[in-house]
Structure 1
Amino acid sequence: MNTDEKPLAEQRPALPVAARLPINRCNLPAVILGGPTYQAHPVPLEIDGINDFHRDLFTALDAIPTPMARAERFIDYMTVRFCLEDLEEAGLTPGRRKKYRSNANYLRMVRGWSFDSDGREGAVLKHWVETRFGLLARYHGGALDGRDSDAYYHYLLQGSQGLYATNALEAQLDLLYTFCQYELARQQPAITHFTLYRGINRIDEHEVLMSSAAGQYRVLFNNLNSFTSCRERADEFGDYILSVAVPTPKVLFYNRLLPGMLKGEDEYVVIGGVYDVVINTL
């Protein structure tokens, strides 16, 4: 960790090579969308082909005036499009695993993340971020600091098990992210960032790249993270409050996006990378 008198905004270390892939499936490379310049000056992120492929859905949503009605329309679309209530129609072989695999959908992934971000569903979501945005997972039940480590093997195994025999699960997540961005733009078109919080006990729980004498830190986050929009809620999880300005395009989903989506009242699930953050004591 380097300390410098210059403001962090004037320093531009790139997203470390070990934290990114050379290719992804969106309109910006990982080295840009995962860096501090993007945090300060975000532009919309689009996963390749999703808006065009599902144009009929978003045209229909444009005509619906209320968020709740749009959420219901989205859920109906997902159910029909991905045969979520008739998986045999989607090609699933009848048998003992039918009930279990019928639950392996985008809603199961979201709820599983809320219960345990280092579980099977968390591994699927982190793998999805890797393939779509090119940001590598940094932690999953342990530091993923080597491809020959037990933690990395466990991460790959859980991700593979979570994706096995599902019905286009990653495509479901593509559409979930795109719908989230549609709703944020529809409901709050002038908002470019959300100020979000996270309770921590020690700053060295995170990968600190730089710090300044003014108490600012440049942190490399895991490729997917939970934050809260309620500072008081963050107080419950640590002795220090980490606050960060998160670009709107880096919000994968949030608790009010769909009915009963998350148990946390103010939870936001955020795509990672390098962020400038401020840490305050309680």
Structure 2
Amino acid sequence: MTPQDEANHANDPSRWYSTNLVGIPTWLLASVEFNAHPQALRIAGAQETHRGLFRLLEESTSSEDAAEKFRRYMDIVFQLTPTQYEVLYAELRRFRPSYLKLMEGWGFDSNSPQGAVLKGWVESRFGLTPSF
């Protein structure tokens, strides 16, 4: 392989090795064909890891109810609401990770640190490498 070929390979995400957790080849996920004929995807281990969330969602009576249950679950997982101990004894400006802040940061600038985190998450689950 010539240095030029190596450079072309390094700059072409479609030629990078990737795996995914959805059981559909990455090239197919990224294709026009998949977009034209989408199918449901399941991320391996997600349902098993978050059984409680999926049980709550199955019991939901409406999309609004499901959204509220999802918000409450994420609040607990990301510890978005400070505990009483934290309110009394911890620093007031403690950093709190938040999926909402992550999405907001990515929405403002996909090349921000939040965008990098989200791109990494997508790549690790779906095998889709960022192209810009």
Say yes or no: TM over 0.5.
yes
Q: Higher strand proportion, which one?
A: 1
Cα-to-partner distance string for 1:214-249 (whole Å, 9 max, x where unaligned): xxxxxxxxxxxxxxxxxxxxxxxxxxxxxxxxxxxx
Counterpart for residue 119 of structure 1: 112
Counterpart for residue 128 of structure 2: 135
- Structure 1 runs (4+) greater than 6 angstroms displaced: none
Aligned length: 115
Percent identity of equivalent pairs: 35
Q: Which runs of 5+ in 2 are unaligned?
A: 1-11
Counterpart for residue 167 of structure 1: none
Secondary structure of the structure 1 residue equivalent to 2:129: coil
Counterpart for residue 18 of structure 1: 13
Q: Within the alignment, does 1:109 sit opposite 2:105 as a pair?
A: no
Q: Which runs of 5+ in 1 are unaligned?
A: 1-16, 140-282
Q: Which amino acid aligns with 1:68?
A: E
Report the TM-score, using the length of structure 2 for normalisation: 0.72
Counterpart for residue 241 of structure 1: none
Q: Within the alignment, does 1:43 sit opposite 2:39 as a pair?
A: yes
Report the TM-score, using the length of structure 1 for normalisation: 0.36
| Conserved? CA contact 2:102–2:114, under 8 Å | yes
Higher normalized contact order (CA 8 Å, seq sep 6+, divided by chain length): 2
| Conserved? CA contact 2:20–2:124, under 8 Å | yes
Counterpart for residue 65 of structure 1: 61
Counterpart for residue 7 of structure 2: none
Query: What is the CA-CA distance between 1:77 and the residue it aligns to?
Result: 0.9
Superposed CA RMSD in Å reads: 2.5
Q: Higher helix proportion, which one?
A: 2
| Conserved? CA contact 2:20–2:26, under 8 Å | yes
Distance 1:21 1:45 in 2: 21
Within 5 Å, give how 1:108-187 maps onto structure 2.
108-139=101-132
Distance 1:116 1:41 in 2: 30
Distance 1:113 1:106 in 2: 11
Query: What is the CA-CA distance between 1:21 and the residue it aligns to?
Result: 3.5
Query: What is the CA-CA distance between 1:44 and the residue it aligns to?
Result: 1.2
Q: Which shows bigger deviation, 18-27 or 70-79?
A: 18-27
